[in-house]
Structure 1
């Protein structure tokens, strides 16, 4: 039985447990990098015809753990089941890369600043409830770790992952509930236009929905100050310390991570409330079929190798990333299945240039970069984002029964995986 839903809770390990978890997190990252390098080396040796997978690397992992050499003590320190899960996740990363419908890129090496993640299979973890607010999970070689029970599990435990972000440690569970897709709810549909100035405009509503600022003015000022301090400290480390990070620099990086983690949580809070309301109260939800990566990949560059128009495009890229349209689509994809509605992505071309009254598309109806729409054919005027949402609903409605109803489980919707598509052979890692 596979997990079909996820649960995430705030964990509160003791100082001794946290020290062990930090060490394991670095070991798991090093094992990922070592296994990835091994696969790429085998791929180069065999010209991309074949390479190793998790089954072979798990056998090698067992041999390494039995080796008495002191140089591999860090592999023996990491629980064996956690190491095996890291290799299986690397397998899944390669399969996602090989799947043309997934959109994942080639697996890459993890840097030291990458979010710590220690995965375990569900069979390795046990849960016991202390009271209505607190529960403990038993982690191999670590013992019982307490976490806040903010909601019930609601199913059978299938996986357990300990994760650390800027706000602390969390425990994530993959849970099998056995729930099927809900029956059609029979409610009227809508079209939604996601934007930057206007976070979302629903075609059936007269007012837009604005996302509250993810950071206050004082927090933005503090983030800017910390970023400047980090840049100065990195420059000093490169000139006088051989590139080695000082404790002050690491403290600055941790403070930046805390602010950004808080910002991410506020964004997700608004996004979850928005997508749940749309999926629960509408029979179908029409959105633009956007390629978010293509929208933000232009004007890339660094301080040493700046690209073209980086400063001009930076504010727009930040606005797109702050509204996370890709995450909104991912959430709508699995929530519409849970609440008996449909997600209908429509072609995005010209939605804000098409008049909902006469149906004429004309670029002259949108003059400049303003948010007003004025049809040059029939004289219809309204807000451009509302006009776009009405056109999106019309296109989604025309799709009607031509939309292919998905047979994917809600968990697979959440992961964005495509079923019904034959997985092609994975390309060589060194070919990219």
Structure 2
């Protein structure tokens, strides 16, 4: 289990952590380029065990690497190993490991043996970081287990520390509660089949916050244009303060979105025996409509706005949370095919696009006369498909079943493309 706490370093400690974050980012980029080069030139697969030996030699010659704790550098290389393994795993959605830009969130990973935690009182505790000493953090909840790893990171709200905790908790037995289907959408954030009203995500920014964000974005654009014309692209302190203010608003927005997502998924997993959702391909749904120079896209700005609305409801993150929370609360996640869920009548099972004209909220079946909210009708259809799922995936509530294909064979490194390192 993961535990995340707000960290309160002193000004001197914050400066040191910022330097460590940039060093860890640079180390990641150098290690990634080294692996890609060796594969392209020699077809040699480099792993962290060998790179850790090279890191030890580099620390003796390069001061900027020596300032980073050795445990943090070694942990960075191990994480790069895991990124490669996830990429080659056909059942994992990870892409090929990418370089980290300077604007990437600063983070310093550490193994569990390198940190020590002591409790000060009911609300505060301290963590001892190598080469830095004790740093206070807000004890918002108990650790509840043994620390396996730790990551110090920074976002718009300041510094945080995350612990990977071994709790020893085992998957719960089936809770025996009734199941449900959930339709995730834009007009309705989530419509549960057993409820008569949708669950709406509150606005992640207030009206004044949206105005301020728009003002800051325009201000940033003006300052960047000035920097390119007069400062050779170098950012001024004013521009950096503007970027920091934007980051604070964006982080606040992300935290509110995450709060709603966690509360929603916890309630669904805890109070239902199974949760049926659509097996969505979010990447395909949010592809850009720009097109090419020869064949430019149509309604590009409208599609961009739709993509932002889809991603704002985080369908992928909701599914990820339901996957692990269902095991904790004795429920089961059942993804079902998403085709025709919005055009299938939950009463008679007939599929007809005429039953759902346009993008209205009303579903009126042209065959049996059944009327319902379109999103609620889809959630009932999703629940019916989920009930029929048992090692198979169903096409609809009344159609034949299609066998789930066997997992694809794991690709070997001998067939690795030269461009992927």
Aligned equivalent of 2:317 = 327
CA contact (8 A) 2:147 2:165 kept: yes
Match of 1:44 among 9, 15, 40: 40
After superposition, the C-alpha distances for 1:174-205 in whole angstroms (9 at most, x for unaligned) are: 00011111000000000000001100000000
Secondary structure, aligned partner of 1:59? helix
Aligned equivalents of 1:330, 1:148: Cα separation in 2: 27
Compared with structure 1, are the counterparts of its residues 133 and 66 closer, same or farther at alpha carbon in structure 2 (3 Å cutoff)? same
The TM-score with structure 1 as length reference comes to 0.90
Secondary structure, aligned partner of 1:144? strand
Aligned equivalent of 1:35 = 31
CA contact (8 A) 2:288 2:304 kept: no
Aligned equivalent of 1:411 = none
CA contact (8 A) 2:59 2:66 kept: yes
After superposition, the C-alpha distances for 1:332-360 in whole angstroms (9 at most, x for unaligned) are: 00000000000000000010111111110
Match of 1:58 among 52, 57, 75: 52
Q: Which runs of 4+ in 1 moved over 4 A?
A: 420-423
Unaligned ranges ≥5, structure 1: 404-419
Aligned equivalents of 1:166, 1:307: Cα separation in 2: 35
Match of 1:425 among 412, 418, 421: 412
Unaligned ranges ≥5, structure 2: 394-406
Secondary structure, aligned partner of 1:60? helix
**Aligned pair 1:140/2:130, yes or no?**
yes
Compared with structure 1, are the counterparts of its residues 300 and 10 closer, same or farther at alpha carbon in structure 2 (3 Å cutoff)? farther
For residues 219-234 of structure 1, the aligned pairs below 5 Å read 219-234=209-224
**Aligned pair 1:397/2:387, yes or no?**
yes
Compared with structure 1, are the counterparts of its residues 307 and 64 closer, same or farther at alpha carbon in structure 2 (3 Å cutoff)? farther
Aligned equivalent of 1:387 = 377
Residue 314 of structure 1: how far off its partner (Å): 1.8
CA contact (8 A) 1:226 1:256 kept: yes
Aligned equivalent of 1:15 = 11
Aligned equivalents of 1:125, 1:19: Cα separation in 2: 19
The TM-score with structure 2 as length reference comes to 0.93
CA contact (8 A) 1:106 1:429 kept: no
Residue 267 of structure 1: how far off its partner (Å): 0.4
CA contact (8 A) 1:43 1:428 kept: no
Residue 424 of structure 1: how far off its partner (Å): 3.0
Higher relative contact order (CA 8 A, sep 6+): 1
**Aligned pair 1:181/2:163, yes or no?**
no
Aligned equivalent of 1:371 = 361
Number of corresponding residues: 403
**Aligned pair 1:286/2:285, yes or no?**
no
Aligned equivalents of 2:220, 2:37: Cα separation in 1: 36
Aligned equivalent of 1:408 = none
